Structure 1
Amino acid sequence: VFLITMAEVQKEENELVKPPMLTSVALRETTNQMEGGEWTHPLPIGCRASIKWRDGKHHMAEIIEKRQDEGAWSYYVHYVEFNRRLDEWTAGTNVDMTDVQKPNKKGPATDLTSSTDSTPGRKLTRNLKRRYDEINHVQKEEDEAKSALEKEHEEITKVKNIDVIELGRYEIDTWYFSPYPEEFSNTPKLYLCEFCLKYMKKRKTLCRHKTKCDLRHPPGNEIYRKDSLSVFEVDGKKNKIYCQNLCLLAKLFLDHKTLYYDVEPFLFYIMCDCDSHGCHMVGYFSKEKDSPDDYNLACILTLPPYQRKGYGKLLIAFSYELSKKEGKVGSPEKPLSDLGLLSFRSYWTRVLLEILRQHQGNLSIKDISTMTAIKTEDIIATLQSLNLIKYWKGQHIISVTPKVIEDHLKTSSRQPTLIDPEFLHWVPYQMDTKVKK
């Protein structure tokens, strides 16, 4: 069974920029006892309590939902110091009833402050706010509509509807809600065919399906094969059901993915580890067939059992090899997930450091972009994070010595396995421009 531990998640999240947590002083402003007595079940939604996790340690969590089964209460909780991927149902017996904090009915403060004001925290007057909105072309109606949609999405997806999936030889704990049809939701375990991704509620149904399913690899064209590594290109229009199933599977591990059924405008690149039993999916990325913003990647996922093995960087490297074939520079669609951002930063850092180490003589950012197919904005941001670039007389200047490069390479991730262009057999997608007569 593949499980993710609190320690692993904490290590990942220490590398991310996180919003400030509530201070211990603020938390103590709420009482951990009901007026006139101890807390008893059921606890109210919105309160916080110390919850015993699988590692035997207690962690502060917020109660999102509750249910009663045969007289026993259980709670769906969000651990306040960790990503939503660890949200789960837990038995009431895991709650420390001596450490419960009342829900904050007032809610978070909503004072509007100007991020551009020279006085920190200064409130905007009505006139100042209107002028600020006019200057910055703030579309109030669009913002309100977007905010309403985000709240609706958060409400719908706040509780995971599937706990575990069985995919090939792995049982995988899910991270997030995914909009599978209602009859397949709210089930502790979902069974998936690892080749066609059809989903079933019972193991015996999966066993029957295996005798009939003749797929041993993703549909579509195999465009890359070297040793046991293979990549298939799948057209969302030609293989609609497969791609929809893929998106539903991906949503179990991606918090903000919203595309599930409108797959026709996309191409999907499925990376597989192949053996005598077939080609087993390790991850995938998608890209628009026609991206006006030159995005070379729309969505990326490495399945949890294959994470921390270099497949994420391989998927990223593959997306840039396709961009080179197209003769374009590319960039991933924003915003990236937290793990996606970490993978891209790591990939960009390693590629740029290797370029700077190997190149002799003058080298411009545009030259690097042409060599790597990485967009100039991503190059500049990465070099700035490494303090290897300066802004002088209206232009960015790369300022680096061989020793500085070697020092950075020592602290960066190990040299990733690269995609070999000789084994890539692919022609860029051509949009149908024929006009009906």
Structure 2
Amino acid sequence: MPRPPKEIVPAEPNISVGKFYFVKREEELLKSKILDIRIGESNAKEYYVHYESLNRRLDEWVQADRIVTRGVPGDEDLGSFSQNLGGQRNRIDEEDLVDSESPTDDLEREHKQLTKVKHIDCIQFGMYEIDTWYFSPYPDEYGKQKKLFICEYCLKYMKLEKTYRYHLGECIRRHPPGKEIYHKVTLPPFQRQGYGKLLIAFSYELSKIEGVLGSPEHPLSDLGKLSYRSYWSWVLLDILRELKGNVTVRKLSEMTSITCSDIISTLESMSMLKYRVGDDAACVTPHLVDECIRSAQFKRPRLTVDTAHLKWDPPNTGKTDDSGSIVEIDSSEDEDSPMKSADERNDLETDDSNSSF
């Protein structure tokens, strides 16, 4: 009696850490680098990929069927590119180790290496399941879980859903512990509803009452920078479109509690700083203001702070000081330029004329 044919098991593709491949993502093939390999729940290999053209927060674990190892036009060039880049990277790493300026450089390099791969794919936080963006430094037994369960009241984290359900029945807290754990952040389930700008506006209203200048901690994340820049743009344009005559950057800072440096960088981002040859005034015309207001950068917040109902006594602290230094203009290409130094450009002029520059 003939034996039944053996089940044919497809050969596992030869995919290596550090190599570049094309990976399928939302109907596209994107050049990606393999950063790590793990064994998934079904005992199949999973590969942690970084998409070269996308932000690091979109790195993810994928299965082999999403990775194209052959048959893609130009994949020979991709393979040689990965080898060359890998060799170059090794040489750079070796040079960095030899020429390290301080122990801090080595620690930063080690931190980057340890945090480049995220193992937690999502968390259960209250009634929401939230996808993660970056590595989180949980202890090993928790940090390697695909999903963590976190109590939204006491922030206790757990590996098992049954433990989480039991804890919810026992937890007596109704807010996170501590008195100063606040941070301007909007969790993913509540994003794109105006809460981020509301928190930013609220913090600046407190700064106005306190009589100090406010600025976010730097460096900002990419999304943080977009949120603050959008708020600053709206506040400044809202003032400039109603303003007649001249106003200094320092005066705008006093009106808004936004630092001079943040005001200048925002105006520069909107191409609103125009310097006239032979004049020490930066000129912002009504035409420029109207153009910016019509652009996507000017977005009136969905939610605003009603200061009439804001009752708060500030703590007894001293005022902060801002240098008020104005944007530095690089005139190296024209040594004969009559431009004055950056420190002399203290006036931001709103010009009622239709002159162009």
Q: Shorter-normalised TM-score: what interval?
A: 0.7 to 0.9
Sort the Cα spacing of 1:202 and 1:396 in 2 relative to 1 into closer, same or farther, 3 A: farther
Residue in structure 1 matched with residue 308 of structure 2 by the alignment: 422
Structure 2 counterpart of 1:351, which letter?
V
Alignment of 1:328 onto 2:286: no
Alignment of 1:359 onto 2:243: yes
Please tell me whether Structure 1 or Structure 2 has the larger radius of gyration of its CA atoms.
2
Alignment of 1:404 onto 2:298: no
Which residue of 28, 32, 38 maps to 1:67?
38
Residue in structure 1 matched with residue 135 of structure 2 by the alignment: 177
Alignment of 1:156 onto 2:41: no
The alpha carbon displacement at 1:210 in A equals: 1.9
Unpaired runs of 5+ residues, structure 1, are 1-38, 112-139, 221-233, 236-242, 244-267, 269-283, 286-300, 432-437
1:373-388 matches, within 5 Å, as 373-388=257-272
Alignment of 1:147 onto 2:33: no
Equivalent residues of 2:37, 2:45 under 8 A apart: yes
- Mapped to 1, the partners of 2:105 and 2:280 lie a distance apart of 37
Given the two structures, how large is their TM-score scaled by the length of structure 2?
Answer: 0.73
Sort the Cα spacing of 1:429 and 1:177 in 2 relative to 1 into closer, same or farther, 3 A: farther
Which residue of 169, 173, 177 maps to 1:211?
169
Specify the SS of the correspondent of 1:65. Answer: strand
The alpha carbon displacement at 1:392 in A equals: 6.0
- Mapped to 1, the partners of 2:38 and 2:140 lie a distance apart of 19
Given the two structures, how large is their TM-score scaled by the length of structure 1?
Answer: 0.60
Structure 2 counterpart of 1:170, which letter?
Y
Specify the SS of the correspondent of 1:379. Answer: helix
Sort the Cα spacing of 1:212 and 1:430 in 2 relative to 1 into closer, same or farther, 3 A: farther
Structure 1 counterpart of 2:56, which letter?
R
The alpha carbon displacement at 1:368 in A equals: 0.6
Which residue of 73, 88, 96 maps to 1:107?
88
Which residue of 16, 31, 37 maps to 1:44?
16
- Mapped to 1, the partners of 2:69 and 2:138 lie a distance apart of 35
1:10-89 matches, within 5 Å, as 41-53=13-25, 55-68=26-39, 72-89=44-61
Structure 2 counterpart of 1:193, which letter?
C
- Mapped to 1, the partners of 2:91 and 2:190 lie a distance apart of 41
Which residue of 176, 189, 195 maps to 1:305?
189
Q: Which is bigger in relative contact order (C-alpha 8 A, separation at least 6)?
A: 2
The alpha carbon displacement at 1:331 in A equals: 1.4
Equivalent residues of 1:40, 1:97 under 8 A apart: no
- Mapped to 2, the partners of 1:183 and 1:308 lie a distance apart of 34
Equivalent residues of 1:193, 1:206 under 8 A apart: yes
Structure 2 counterpart of 1:75, which letter?
Y
Specify the SS of the correspondent of 1:162. Answer: coil
Equivalent residues of 2:229, 2:266 under 8 A apart: yes
Q: Tell me the C-alpha RMSD between the 2 structures.
A: 2.8
Structure 1 counterpart of 2:30, which letter?
H
The alpha carbon displacement at 1:424 in A equals: 3.1
- 1:82-127 residue CA offsets vs partner (Å, 9 max, x unmatched): 011111111112211105624333225989xxxxxxxxxxxxxxxx
Quick check: 422-431 or 365-374, which moved more?
Answer: 422-431
- Mapped to 2, the partners of 1:67 and 1:366 lie a distance apart of 55
Query: Structure 1 vs Structure 2: percent identity of aligned residues?
Result: 44
- Mapped to 2, the partners of 1:307 and 1:170 lie a distance apart of 13
Sort the Cα spacing of 1:110 and 1:408 in 2 relative to 1 into closer, same or farther, 3 A: farther
Sort the Cα spacing of 1:156 and 1:326 in 2 relative to 1 into closer, same or farther, 3 A: same
- Mapped to 1, the partners of 2:207 and 2:24 lie a distance apart of 48
- 1:250-278 residue CA offsets vs partner (Å, 9 max, x unmatched): xxxxxxxxxxxxxxxxxx2xxxxxxxxxx
Unpaired runs of 5+ residues, structure 2, are 1-10, 93-97, 318-357
- Mapped to 2, the partners of 1:328 and 1:142 lie a distance apart of 40
The alpha carbon displacement at 1:425 in A equals: 3.5
Specify the SS of the correspondent of 1:331. Answer: coil
Sort the Cα spacing of 1:429 and 1:207 in 2 relative to 1 into closer, same or farther, 3 A: farther
- 1:272-298 residue CA offsets vs partner (Å, 9 max, x unmatched): xxxxxxxxxxxx32xxxxxxxxxxxxx
Alignment of 1:191 onto 2:149: yes
Residue in structure 2 matched with residue 256 of structure 1 by the alignment: none
Equivalent residues of 1:45, 1:65 under 8 A apart: yes
Q: How many residues align?
A: 290
Quick check: 102-111 or 337-346, which moved more?
Answer: 102-111
- Mapped to 2, the partners of 1:182 and 1:394 lie a distance apart of 64
Equivalent residues of 2:274, 2:284 under 8 A apart: no
- Mapped to 1, the partners of 2:190 and 2:68 lie a distance apart of 35
